[in-house]
Structure 1
Amino acid sequence: MRPQLQCLPAKHLQFHNVGAFTVTWGIVAFYKFAVAKLRKKAYAYFYRNYDSMKDFEEMKKAGIFQSAK
């Protein structure tokens, strides 16, 4: 039997494109649920309890601001 030489790269390319597409969407889903969602939740918690004036007063007492007295 003779080896197949026509359309061989196209068949391999199609197989690898499907695999690359699947792996890419898997990575996107992992990042969305493992990183982005937790980061949004952490930011929401931080800003829910954040008091900017209290933070400003602490920095002023520490001497970070030279122009504020």
Structure 2
Amino acid sequence: MSQALLSKPQMRGLLAKRLRFHIIGAFVFSLSVVAAYKFGVAEPRKRSYANFYKNYDAVKEFEAMRDAGVFQGVGPKGQ
């Protein structure tokens, strides 16, 4: 009588069933991490670089560094 109350354990296909579940879960998790990185890190970084280079003047920056004495081979303006 006690055997009728207990169900048989699943022996066939158990590994395949668990792998299917975990592969789907890993795929969904990885897609969510990629989306979070793209919209949380990459897009704001692109916007900040675009804003920086929108008004960036390389010649003006070079002259400021030259006047500050950053370069060894280039003296201050007027020498």
TM-score, L = length of structure 2: 0.82
User: What's the counterpart of residue 20 of structure 2?
Assistant: 14
Q: Which of 50, 54, 61 is 2:56 aligned to?
A: 50
| CA distance in 2: counterparts of 1:16 and 1:66, whole angstroms | 59
User: Equivalent residues in 2 for 1:1-69 (5 A)?
Assistant: 1-69=7-75
Q: Which runs of 5+ in 1 are unaligned?
A: none
The structure number with the bigger radius of gyration is: 2
Residue identity (%)? 51
| CA distance in 2: counterparts of 1:23 and 1:4, whole angstroms | 28
| Secondary structure, counterpart of 2:38 in structure 1 | helix
TM-score, L = length of structure 1: 0.93
How many residue pairs were aligned?
A: 69
Give RMSD over aligned pairs: 0.8
Runs of 4+ in 1 over 2 A off after TM superposition: none
Deviations 1:12-36 (A, max 9, x none): 0000000000000001111111111
Match of 1:10, as an amino acid?
A
